[in-house]
Structure 1
Amino acid sequence: MTRLGLCSVTFRRLPAAEVARRAADAGLEVIEWGADVHAPPEEPGTVRAARDASDRYGLACCSYGSYFRATPDDSAEFPAVARAAVLLGAPRVRVWAGGTGSRDATPHERRGTATRLREAARIAADHGLELALEFHSKTLTDSVASTLRLLDEVGADNLRTYWQPPLDTPDEEALAGLAELGDRVAAVHVFSWWPGNRRLPLADREDLWAGVFDLLNRRRARLDALVEFVPGDDPAVLAREAATLRRAAAHRPGPPA
């Protein structure tokens, strides 16, 4: 039920057609086009080229990796982001929950971020799109508790969240957080970093990813697992990483504890 794919930001230096070709050659199914290089919202021609590239290699565009942060400075930018997502054929837009961590954000900042996300969700719905929050440090989604709270504060049916393993978090704790987010997860970003942001092969944390798919496979609902960053930003290792991802995805859940 989980589609396996690639975030194009993994290979920012490659042209879109080369990114799509390598993803297809690695046996991946879907792609998240990033707005920073491969599909800037203000460049419709570049966005169309990205869509053409994924179509040519038989990849579905599962999401648009935008950099809309729901801050006062970019509050007017979302309509262009939504139009670009439609042009890509992406059903989902990845957005960010401000630029301040949950412990440092004032109540006023938090309310403002929620208000802007609510408006973005309204615009997205008008375009037939879902939104999903980047699960990331230095934003209001820097913890599971703050993410769940923000989703409730926004209160939009078409808003969910991404998940990725928090830095330096042991496997058991990371998996507990994913379980707590439950059905509110739309996709996961797949990488193995340890310690800090040291990039390891996925196989070095294969137990973590087997545990992730144990949880995901219990849900029996479709979502996306997207490779995001590889050791050395080396395109040559993508096939190896995709093979590890397929092995983890094939993990069958055991009986409930």
Structure 2
Amino acid sequence: MSDFEPGLCTVTFRGLPPESIVDLAREARLAAIEWAGDAHVPPGDTSIARIVGRHCERAGLATSYGSYVAPPTDHLFEFMRTVESAIALGASNIRIWAGTRRRDSKDYSAGERRAAADAIRDMAAEAARHDISVSLEYHPQSLTDTTESACELIESIAHDNVYLYWQPRPGLALGEAIAEVARIGEHISHVHVFAWDRDRNRFPLASAADYWRTILASLPASRWKGRRFAMLEFVADDDPNAFFEDAATLRKILSD
């Protein structure tokens, strides 16, 4: 059985209100929700965060805060607003982006990479004061868009409160995915789960069940010690029925 528990990223349902998303997650028998900072829980709006946190607490759902803070473009001031919302939400983890969004890692100078690492380290230190971890989105067009860049960044940050998410780049072959998680697995906190092809066409998670089962079984031990979540993201057609099917598939994958 995997040590990951099933969860949901709310970007999957941007158009739904938080209480409806909580109901969906509860009905799907999930364990956690990662709330999008650009859709459902805006940074700095602690009143909304508290309301959403209460909904989750009543439903027995853990929370993570999916921010779009992108150091060094964004500074500690912007991150502090995110921390305030995470505290009000009751989230134990904040996801941030590494580097300027929509910029390839190969386009950074050594100085720009150092600036990003320094900014992330400062944010991690601030989050640690509130017992909140920081995890870097693993995403194309960021400083985690290749295994090499992600490894270099996490080593440059050198802070024990900074972790990596993982998700496959669209169309990533299984062998490459296994090699990737083998290299960064010790730093992985949570994963984002979906079934896409290279052109970002979405498919039922059942079509990629063996892919995900193999990857999760291949993950090495991580220095992460908290609860770990495999979070569904972007189901086919943003359809709740597709979500329920994917949630059932994810639960099966994690229980095998």
Q: Deviations over 1:42-87 (max 9, x none)?
A: 21121112112212222111x1100000033444201111111111
Q: What is the aligned partner in structure 2 of residue 96 from structure 1?
A: 97
AA in 2 matched with 1:17: E
What does residue 255 of structure 1 align with? none
**What residue in structure 2 maps to residue 254 of structure 1?**
none
Q: What residue in structure 1 maps to residue 234 of structure 2? A: 229
Q: Does 1:124 align with 2:127?
A: yes
Question: Greater CA deviation, 225-234 or 71-80?
Answer: 71-80
Offset of residue 247 of structure 1: 1.6
| Paired amino acid for 1:108 | G
1:134 equivalent in alignment to 2:134: no
Letter in 2 for 1:11: F
Matched with 1:39 is 41
Counterpart position of 2:23: 21
Matched residue, 1:85: 86
How many correspondences in the alignment? 250
1:250 to 239, 245, 255: 255
Q: Does 1:186 align with 2:186?
A: no
Amino acid at match of 1:95: I
Query: Hey, what's the Cα distance between the residues in 2 that align with 1:216 and 1:244?
Result: 19
Question: Which blocks of at least 5 consecutive residues in structure 1 are unaligned?
Answer: 252-257
SS of residue paired to 1:189: strand
**Helix, strand or coil for the counterpart of 1:188?**
strand
Q: Using structure 1 for the length normalisation, give the TM-score.
A: 0.92
**RMSD between aligned residues:** 1.7
1:47/1:84 contact within 8 Å kept: yes
If the length of structure 2 is used for normalisation, what is the TM-score?
0.93
SS in 1 for 2:107: coil
> Is 1:204 the counterpart of 2:207 in the alignment?
yes
Structure 1 vs Structure 2: percent identity of aligned residues?
38
Does the Cα contact within 8 Å between 1:6 and 1:28 map onto a contact in 2?
yes
Asked if the contact 2:186/2:220 (under 8 Å) is kept, the reply is no
State the secondary structure of the residue aligned to 1:14.
coil
Query: Aligned partners of 1:165 and 1:72: how far apart in 2?
Result: 25
